Amino acid sequence: MTIPRASAIVGAGTMGPGMAAVLARSGSQVKLNDISAEVLDRAKAGTELAAQVLDRVGAPSQPGGSVSFEVDFPTAVSGADLVLEAVPEKIELKREVFANLEEHCAATAILATNTSGIPISEIAKGLRHPQRVIGMHWSNPPHLIPMIEVVPGEHTGDDVRAKVVAIIEAFGYEAVVEKEVPGFVENRILYAILRECLSLVERGIITEADMDTCVKWGIGYKLSVIGPMRLLDMAGLDIYESVASYLNPDLSDSAEVPQFIRERTASKRLGMKTLGGIYEYTEEQVRERRAEIASGLIAVRKVLSGL
């Protein structure tokens, strides 16, 4: 059986509950841990909601899975065959969690981090068994995006990498294996796109709303079906060569965080969570937008899964 019989997730904030729901649905007995009893309590509703979404997408399911909520760290992780760490993106904190995992987990347990870009080798530095530490980067929302970036560190064992890929495939997701690179591949692409979008808006070339329409239909729609490498084949490599030869030198290569973002964060305009960022929102509009996004992702995932 590829799916770990028992697994643990450390950190029950934004990512933990969705990850727990996916593993439980594939038959694993998951223990979800957090230092905050209050967060853990909230995570019950989050896990339940994620499970309902998995029902709506018709995700494959295996019997025997469950999620329990455990505030005591040793109890949560000691019997796990796979541990997913999802604590905040701070290297000292992650190192501390992995040192504690070494103390409390079986020698055979795989220890995976959901870091968004801290090098795995840095997280594993100083551990007695760095060969079983690996990056397993889920995309948000983790119960809806069926792709996980697998990032072995310098010392990660080939057997550990192969087992993690097999686990991901067993719960019906696609695994992509990458070498360590700052930000990992998905975020590098996203941030390259965002840099150019922000630069064009800042220069007054296009409005914010038209930018959203242009990228959603002109790029997002197409890329969700074919991916960039196949897009190049479809468009013709000769076309790319001639356009890239005059366009690439004109694209933003700024190493700075754009002023457009800095001035908003300085005045605490952080987006939906503060009811204003690039656009304005009421609380009701935030709820509506979030529901719209979830329904859209469910509908698109169903279609793309059938391709």
Ligand X SMILES: NC(=O)c1ccc[n+]([C@@H]2O[C@H](COP(=O)([O-])OP(=O)(O)OC[C@H]3O[C@@H](n4cnc5c(N)ncnc54)[C@H](O)[C@@H]3O)[C@@H](O)[C@H]2O)c1
- Token pair 């065959």 is found at 81
Shortest spacing between CB 238 and ligand X, in angstroms: 37
Listed in sequence order, the residues at least 6 apart from 136 whose beta carbon sits closer than 8 Å to its beta carbon are 84, 112, 113, 114, 148, 149, 150, 151, 164, 168
Residue 94: CB partners within 8 Å, gap ≥ 6?
Answer: 85, 87, 113, 115, 118, 123
Of all residues in the shown chain, the one whose CB is closest to ligand X is 13
Q: Which is nearer to ligand X, 116 or 199 (CB)?
A: 116
Shortest reach from residue 251's CB to ligand X, in Å = 26
Minimum CB distance to ligand X smaller for 27 or for 34: 34
The residue type found at 4 is P
Comparison of 88 and 182: residue with beta carbon closer to ligand X? 88
Name the minimum Å distance from CB 69 to ligand X.
Answer: 12
**Residue closer to ligand X, measured from CB, 46 or 65:** 46
3-state helix, strand, coil in the chain (%, to 5): 55, 15, 30
Cβ contacts of residue 84 below 8 Å, gap of 6+? 7, 8, 9, 10, 19, 23, 112, 113, 114, 136
Residues lying near ligand X in the complex (CB under 6 A) are found at 10-16, 33-36, 39, 86-89, 93, 97, 114-116, 137-138, 140
Q: At what angle do helices 37-57 and 16-25 cross, to 10 degrees?
A: 50
| Minimum distance, C-beta of residue 203 to ligand X, in the bound complex (Å) | 28
Q: Which is nearer to ligand X, 190 or 232 (CB)?
A: 190
How is residue 130 annotated by DSSP? G
